[in-house]
Structure 1
Amino acid sequence: MSVRRERERSGLSLTALARRAGIAKSTLSQLESGSGNPSVEILWALGVALDVPFSRLVDPPKPDVRVIRAGEGPVMYSEHAAYAATLLASCPPHARRDVYRIAAQPGEPRTSQPHMPGTVEHVVLGTGRALVGPVDHPVELGPGDYVTYPGDALHIFRALEPGTSAVIVMEHV
């Protein structure tokens, strides 16, 4: 976890970052010490508060050629939905794009708070069916369908069939 590095880079105290992200100072302290197990919601809140892509908080340095097999990679789970995001690729410095593989099940949707201003999400559905996009007008997708929408507004991913999967590319402007 790179939360401490990014907090120190931004010049924020533990208290200031916890307040900005809307999380408990004790939770942030546990994350920085490596003893916490953050949800995807907490990591997104920290990324927005630090003005860095989510992936910068969780992705270790990588070699020139990297293969991530199905079922491998850093996985973050939602607290409120049957939704798991596996980081597949993050941007190198000065580039602003992250790639995630999503596995989701029907039930409670994954509702995402707005990301950094200018963020755009691109989704290609692999299997199943899902409602994806802005909360007020998501689009139903089937296998192979693509949608793009503003990631800096409230948005959802709701699996409509068991075993729904997708790839999400996030662009950070």
Structure 2
Amino acid sequence: MDLIGTIAASIRRERNRTGLSLTEVARRAGIAKSTLSQLENGTGNPSVETLWALGVALGVPFSHLVDPPRPVTRVIRAGEGPATRSEHADYTAVVLATCPPGARRDIYRILIEPGEPRISDPHMPGTVEHAVLATGHALIGPADAPEELHPGDYISYPGDAPHTFRALAPDTSAVMVMEHI
């Protein structure tokens, strides 16, 4: 879909979400009803100012009108996704989902091999980490008192204090949720 088509679909979607008429959205945005109708039909070419005014009228950020909606279902296959490696351990974090507006959590797939443990410095105050060990065997948790986990085990611990993740078996992996309170 081209940008004008995306904008048209977004305006229709957001207007339907609010339950507002064409007349009311046009009035709130300070534009002609015919202009809004053209935009919804994909025949207009809105300026940045018009889109900002529509965003305000519809109660959404500018980006919601120009960025295509994301699918509700999202799949990241094993071995895919943005991966970041540790400098000090055989540890890889793959971001599965970032924190959407209004929420304060990120989801990662962790891959780690035996050897040097991953020692993490404290994160932002109020951070809590949750992990479910998927494969292998590991020590996870507060740096001074990690817990031994096996596949299927869950742990929650303060992420705003030093913490560790150490693989005790090859091909150890976990799903981790960082909750930012």
TM-score, normalisation: structure 1: 0.63
Tell me the amino acid that sits aligned with residue 147 of structure 2.
V
Q: Equivalent of 1:85, from 76, 81, 93? A: 93
Match of 2:140? 132
Write out aligned runs for 1:120-159 (5 A). 120-159=128-167
Aligned-residue offset at 1:62: 8.0
1:66 positional shift: 1.8
CA distance in 2, matches of 1:63, 1:85: 23
Aligned length: 113
The sequence identity of aligned pairs, in percent, is: 69
**SS state of the match for residue 102, structure 1?**
strand
Aligned equivalents of 1:162 and 1:63: distance in 2?
A: 36
Per-residue CA deviations over 1:41-75 (Å, capped at 9, x if unaligned) read xxxxxxxxxxxxxxxxxxxx982232100000000
What are structure 1's unaligned runs of at least 5 residues? Answer: 1-60
Partner of 2:169: 161
What are the Cα deviations for residues 131-154 of structure 1, in whole angstroms up to 9, with x where unaligned? 000000000000000000000000
Shift of residue 91 of structure 1?
Answer: 1.4
| Map of 1:99 onto structure 2 | 107
Tell me the secondary structure at the aligned position of residue 120 of structure 1.
strand
What residue is the counterpart of 2:118 in the other structure? 110
SS at match of 1:72: coil
| Equivalent residue letter for 2:166 | R
Partner of 1:63: 70
Secondary structure in 2 matching 1:126 = strand
Q: Secondary structure at the match of 1:133?
A: strand
